[in-house]
Amino acid sequence: MKRLDCRHGHQLALALTLLVVLAWPGVRQWLEASMSRHMLLQFPLWMAAGHLLADALPRRARVAIAGSNAHGIAGLVGVVVVLSVLMVPRVLDLALRDAGIEAAKCAGLLVAGAALRVSWRPAGLVVQSFFLGMLLPMMVVVGQLYIDSPLRLCNAYLLDDQVRVGRGLIALAALVAMVWLTQAAWRLMRSEGAQLAPP
């Protein structure tokens, strides 16, 4: 029990440190000065902070959350909704100009990271595949739109940066798909091996 409490304490300390760094004005301005860093670095870092916060939750809180998140479906749908909204170019522009929208963006990413943490394992391979089947094609479509558009979709960023984001989204979607397929194949082979093993 003490070891678990210590682990939760470390996770919480790391999450709070990351939150302080991300909220620091100089760091935030540097991340948001480039569309690439804004979407491909700041977004994952806020989600990582949420992941760490969720990992620091005591068991009682996890059980309470699981009651309204059967098979991780509610949490994963929430992640898709948050990321779908935040990939809209207009939202990125508004987040740079409106402190309220910026705060909502960061809070949404934090919650999405926490939801992903508490929902992924209970989801199992089938629900995970549906989740990725919604999210990854959307990333590819948005990425291709950023690449093909002759106009700047985000007024705050240059066209070259927009193209880099598009390529980055497509590459990230491909990487996530490969990692998940590798893990899924390994889990299935391990499960089959356990069933075939003599008692």
Query: What is the CB neighbour count within 10 angstroms for residue 191?
Result: 11
pLDDT for position 193: 60
Cβ atoms 12, 56 nearer than 8 A: yes
pTM of the predicted model as reported, rounded to 2 decimal places? 0.87
**pLDDT tens-place string over residues 12-66:** 888 899 999 999 999 999 999 999 999 999 999 999 999 998 887 777 777 777 7
Using the structure block, give the residue that is written with the tokens 């939750």: 57
pLDDT for position 1: 47
Alpha-carbon 1 to chain mean position: 30
97-124 mean pLDDT: 93
CA separation for the pair 81, 56 (Å, rounded): 24
Q: Which pair of tokens denotes residue 197?
A: 């093993």
Task: List the alpha helices (DSSP H) in the chain.
Answer: 2-23, 25-32, 35-37, 43-55, 59-66, 73-86, 89-97, 99-148, 159-196
Taking CA atoms, 142 is separated from 58, 63, 86, 115, 127, in Å, by: 37, 36, 11, 23, 23
**pLDDT tens-place string over residues 173-184:** 999 999 999 998
Of the candidates 115, 133, 147, the one whose C-alpha atom is nearest the C-alpha of residue 49 is 115
Q: Which residues contact 146 (CB under 8 A, 6 or more apart)?
A: 153, 162, 163, 165, 166, 169
Cβ atoms 1, 126 nearer than 8 A: no
